[in-house]
A and B are shown apart, each in its own frame.
Chain A
């Protein structure tokens, strides 16, 4: 490449990275400045006020408690699955891995609907005597023993978070386990430090898989901490910091009107930022540590030496699969069941009425096919932007690393991760206030929600593309150059052709996450004609349900959203490079 063109190329890369960084920072900064101006409080005052306001303190307590319990439960469910899956020879392991990973890409609103169906009056949990809904029986006893209000709904929430996050544990811990040299364990058994189970856990398992567990736990904490749709629907009496911020967001940033909500939003945003940056920094450090211990022996030889799974192993994996798929099956089932009440007697009817109604739409809600179209349009536009930006960022990080500029590479890496640490609600609010301030005519422009979609999906593209770009063999480029190919063809043959797999994975994930994005879209979609599928589900569920069709209509919309995400994820799994068990 000529020097001039290389300069232009580098400049273009930095323009894209800088624009991405500004797109994250400016809405956040503008939202903060505006809220400071409305409340008359500085950011430091707001942080102090946060700890003086019982409402925000309650939200902090609830968020911390639910996040910690979610992490513990995720580990309790996820570790046995990872252990069994990582140590033995399983037939169809890619399919098992894919099925266990489905929850992670499912839109949160779909997960919420699945768990509402699970704890429903006629749901499977009630049938086996677990009443999380009205908290009778032993769930009620737990409530009265602990003095903890709404125990049933709290349990439903943390189980839903565990459902959402088990794939993090499986995908991060299983590859470490499956590549550990089995002879280590055998040798340790002969030593005094390894002749008890506890000794082996302390001396081999914890040092070996500990960083992977800690890393997955930290990510699980982050996702549970910022959970919004699940909290909104499963624990209606409690607020996390994110849901309290979203509820207050509607009146935030308006001068001389409900200034208390602006105070709440500003205070939560800042405290949440501090907590999430700390958690992400911790995750990043653990990830580096974790990557050092990876790939000790080939996966197949380690598995071969341990042989077929035990009965206990099979039961564990089967239970994991049932746990994963049950809420999704219930969503589909519920979309066909309509309740009728005659003189207080309830009967259920199997009917397509909800599907017909939601497909046609009415003045209250957009038609299902239109919402589907909108979701796909947003997802495709997001795909184009996110893949381009994500690839550019990943290539830049790799180039900086190769040229020894490790510190700069880390900074760009941190920029790419930043959207995960910033609340989607806050980004949405910043964009909304910014548009109203500088360009109100854009207020109802359909492209507005694309911006947060791009910001929130790009980190995943970078995570998928970066390892693939790092592993590219530069000798192919040299060989292509020697063949005298044009620069475009060199790029195609030495880079693109090797990156098609990861690109497809990143693309599918981008579309899946864009389809499920809820927080920012919820704040930003102001014109009913651009409602997406996840907004449609939420709108239907928010309507008074004296009309018995409303709930199955919401479930029908969630089914379409789920099916679409499911197909995309299977496509991604199909093209995922073989042997790549971990990561997303």
Chain B
């Protein structure tokens, strides 16, 4: 009987090993693991990069900074990440990143100085800008009365449009809207202010019955399914290029100026290749391909100018206003505040 068991075991381990060999372990090419936002790149560039540097790129995507962070916490190792501002600050504080060797990134000369040195990484020690933009309201000019826009973010609670809006399924951006509407800083740590914002969102749920959408908002707005949607400027630019009835609006109460940047993790073993990847993405031609493919604003001046003049001419969302005096950049949150927000956000979504 032992023989039988052994045979079975051999078979099982044999099969397991075989597949292990078939998938991945086989090649000795250097591998770069990149973790970035979904729909955030012209994927043909990855193949080009692989060819040029004779390597393999494993490209994975996430749909929120938080889910990216959780994945890393669960033991997953990546070489290059493309998180947003506050998450970069958090990773820096937790020693998750290694300093960029700028001498390996000659294409950095093409970057717009104006988007460098943001508060989350003042000297750009760790991060290289990839895309930037704002958050605003995308509205259907055939449905929304321009006069109502004067209410700023409060228009999202204008019962005229009840059942006709998409919020964005993101904790920090939703609270940003409520806090800005109430005239507070979106980086507040004052629990009374946060509670007030929570009430704002709960009341909005009750009266407006919004849909908390993810990327599905893109198709829905292209088809003109609802009157308004909270979107990132880059998505707005893409949607507006597909549907001419839409316009992008940034309330004066201020909004979130965000930046997604490429960073190298401290786990990264292919440091040189990681720098090469970053440099590759900053190449004016490649940056142009990316920005045209996804609609987000490139920090590479040459690519941005070309896209703004040719592909997104007259598209107000492609070059969003980042000079508003009430605008802010998201900052790192202490654990306690972060958990407080997370719990309230779960409650907002679960409320009925």
Answer yes or no: are A and B bound together in one complex.
no
Where the two chains meet, the residues of B that have a C-beta atom closer than 8 Å to any C-beta of A are none
Where the two chains meet, the residues of A that have a C-beta atom closer than 8 Å to any C-beta of B are none
